[in-house]
Copies of this chain bind each other. A is one copy, B any other.
Amino acid sequence: MTDTQTTPNLSPRQAVVLSRVLGSGFVTIEALAEEFGVSAQTVRRDIITLSEKGLLQRFHGGAGPVGAAESARLDHAAKRDVAKPEKHLVGARAAAIIPDGASVFLDVGTTIECCAARLAQRKGFRIFTTSIRTALLFDPEAHEVNVIGGRLSGRDGSLTGEEVILRLNDLRIDVALIACSAVDDTERVMDFNTSKIAVKKAAMNAAAASYLLCTTSKFGRTALATIAPMSRFQSIITEVETS
């Protein structure tokens, strides 16, 4: 007889705990115990209760919102090819060739995010992206950040679908930074997700110049379908010197 879902039966203090957590992003047990004048044990029990209802997430020493760290934790960090140092090198190199004030399309992917983190430290870019995670890296007051709307297709925050394509077809931008899953032996740039491939193609058509960002680990592999031949890119940016 667990009637857990139907009744959001929270004590007044638990409700405040929840608001503190959702409001501040992260709160320590100690701080909460002090605020309420109760023992850490009691706060801990409140947090356990709330986490069992899925209203927040427990951490060692405190608690945070469910959507917060979880996103960067299990799903996004996603057991797969987690971001290696190479990706940061690729991102830094790509950011270095983008002139100030440029209009830039940013693809979905951790490598692109590394690049975005660099660009975000500068000012005045016109950003177009289909990744809501990438969008959040920028300060809207320092840059013009445009999110190409569409259907959310994964925990990576990628937007895909017809709307995205239609919108991209209307755009004319300076540079497109594209990520990929593989570059096969015949120099075809490939990916596994056909929806994302369509977005990448549309972005490349809308851009005066396209750059491929990928680590060398992608070379010699193959994937589901082709994005474009390597020759279609202005340059391929990897973690090794191409000189």
Give Cα A108 to B89, complex, Å: 36
Q: Which residue of B lies closest to A38 (CB)?
A: B85
How many copies of this chain does the complex contain? 2
- Asked if residues B159 and A16 are in contact (CB atoms below 8 Å), the reply is no
A212 vs chain B, min Cβ distance (A):
19
What are 21 residue pairs bridging A and B, where the CB atoms are less than 8 Å apart in the complex? Answer: A12-B88, A12-B117, A15-B121, A16-B84, A19-B88, A19-B116, A24-B71, A25-B69, A26-B59, A26-B65, A31-B72, A34-B82, A36-B85, A37-B84, A38-B85, A54-B121, A136-B157, A146-B150, A146-B151, A147-B149, A149-B167
List the interface of chain A (C-beta within 8 A of B). 5, 8, 10-13, 15-16, 18-20, 22-28, 31, 34-38, 54-55, 59-62, 64-69, 71-73, 77, 80-85, 87-89, 91-92, 110, 113-114, 116-118, 120-121, 132-133, 135-140, 144-155, 157, 159, 163-164, 167
